[in-house]
Amino acid sequence: MKRILFIGAAALAVSSALASATEQPESLLPPGFDDPAPAPSPAPAPRPTASQPATPAQPATPAPGVSGEVVQPIPDAGAEGPLPPLPAGFPSIAELEDLEGDELDELLGLKPRYDIPPAARRSMERVGVIAAQEGGFAVGALDEQPASIVRAALGGMRGPVVSRWGHILLRRALASRLEAPQGMSPVEFAALRAATLTRIGEFGVARSLVQDVDTGNWNDALTNAAIDAYIGTGDITGACPVVQIRGGVREDPQWRMLQGICFAYAGQGARSNSVLSRVAPDEGIERIDILLAQRFAGGASSSGRAVNIEWDDVEGLTPWRFALASAVGEPIPDGLLSDAGPYYRRVSATNGFLTLEQRASGADSAAQEGILSSRAMVDLYSQIYAQEGVDGASRASAARLRDAYVADDPAARAAAIRDIWDAGGADPFGRFVLTAYAAARIQPSSDLKDDAGDLIASMLTAGLDRNAMRWEPVVADGSLAWAQIALARPGEGGEVSEAQIRQFIDDDDSAEARKSQFLLAGLAGLGRVSPSVQSELATDLGMSLTAGSRWAQLIESSAEVNNPVLVAYLAGVGMQGSSWDKMTPRHLYHIVSALNRVGLSAEARMIAAEAVARG
């Protein structure tokens, strides 16, 4: 464009000169000013002699009042001098020819560091997506805490937590708008939180968190966490800003495929084809991944080339493969989906590219883990019920969910709820989340006392503790329903008698009396059992709540200084696992006690009640 503008300006100047030469307009100057007197001719320069070297001619001095022209002497074109040296490691001519445009721009320092104007750049003093007034934690909660503890806690969480309510609490603590602790940079703090969110399956929250930081401030760790979040949400092109700004930060095939995709959606189709055609299968990357990337990139233009996808030789799924196939509408073989792990059930529940029935197949797992709320589950099944042409198990559950709300009598509504639970398979806890509000609408009755334990567990998945308390006059002491009410009761709750606890222990048929152990640990953590009864019952159950560990010392110290964020992080470390049989009563006791002491009593009560219901 600049070159075109320059040529246009030159042409305009030439045409103006031609017009002046041909039209010769009448002069408006007074007589005598049109043709000034010619300047005297300069004296000829002396010729050099044998004894006198030649000197360049000097320009003549113009006469006073007469304009002259100063001519810059031209350097001797034949003179040769040493060329300035190239920087160390500068590529050769052959290597320069192989560089892509972004790589060349980065080498020459032409790539901008920021894609945001200076006036619009955001401070990194506080990073997060939930403000304190929106339910997040206080901004300065970690100001005076050592970075080493925060770094160890966040880095120590390698996967999902066993408790739904523990997951909800951890998500809130990770997503809160916070200042970095002492000794930790804001970008490192953001990267640690984003990576932890992706590891527990909260890809949407992780994406929102990384987007709260300007791309020019990202480091390698935040970049990697962001790519995982974008792939987990199926938002492939959402990664384009960081891919364009930090083009040379990675050289792996997945990064190169992202570059090719982003070139395509930036209108650089030829460049995209060039990049994608040069990607070769490598560790973790197969030919089908490259073909899916080419199919996705081809969607940027109507002239995209056709790409045929074959699954015959594909032995498994990867997050990249699943995200691209979902985005381009490429059906994944049932054999690959049936063998897929829990990651794919989590991402399926929130992937907007999938059908409602496909989302419902992963919704139970996502709800059970705390990723989906009860309201989100009801919304999903309401859409399934309203959409024509949807059949199968999800449609039947949607119809029964409607009956659970509008049936004529409590018995009919309870029967509909039981049908929904039965359709959930061996572990119906995800369906408990779906029926939480329907269960809260059922009037307590002794006729339904056999279902009271599960109905109360369903209500508590959504935190409906006061609705659960209405069942207290109906349930029997020592029952599962009684145990949950004893733990979930708001306020101080009062002490529970030894006789009531022993009655529960006698009726407990769980493996290794795990429910009884969790009941005692929860009551002790909430301060609802006397120390003497606690000690005696712990001995009878063959457990110890006082045995110390480094983790127990840290969470107790965090509670003593009244730091809820650090307690939440350490609670997440203590609740890691795929099921409740990975949880120990001692860990549950320390978690419930610490949360209760730092003002998170609601979460402490829900976690304790959930442990008994699912133990």
Over 324-336, what HEC string results?
HHHHHCCCCCHHH
Give 487's pLDDT tier (boundaries 50, 70, 90): very high
Distance separating alpha carbons of residues 474 and 485, to the nearest angstrom: 11
Q: In angstroms, rounded to a whole number, what is the distance separating the alpha carbons of residues 324 and 234? A: 7
Q: Which residues contact 309 (CB under 8 A, 6 or more apart)?
A: 288, 291, 292, 295, 325, 330
Residue 89 DSSP label: T
Question: pLDDT value at position 9?
Answer: 37
What pLDDT shows up at residue 72? 56
What pLDDT is recorded for position 14? 30
pLDDT of residue 23: 43
What pLDDT digit, counting tens, does each position of 180-210 carry?
999 999 999 999 999 999 999 999 999 999 9
Bigger pLDDT: 22 or 423? 423
Confidence of residue 2 (pLDDT cuts 50, 70, 90): very low
Which pLDDT tens digit goes with each residue over 359-417? 999 999 999 999 999 999 999 999 999 998 778 899 999 999 999 999 999 999 999 99
87 pLDDT more than 80: no
Residue 20 has pLDDT above 70, yes or no: no
Span 93-97, average pLDDT: 61
Written as one letter, the residue type at 335 is G
The proportion of the chain whose per-residue pLDDT surpasses 90, expressed as a percent, equals: 67
**Dmax (CA) of the chain:** 131
Cβ atoms of 281 and 313 closer than 8 Å: no
* pLDDT tens per residue, range 556-565: 999 999 999 9
Q: How high is the mean pLDDT of the chain?
A: 85
Whole-prediction pTM: 0.81
Does position 12 have pLDDT exceeding 90, yes or no? no
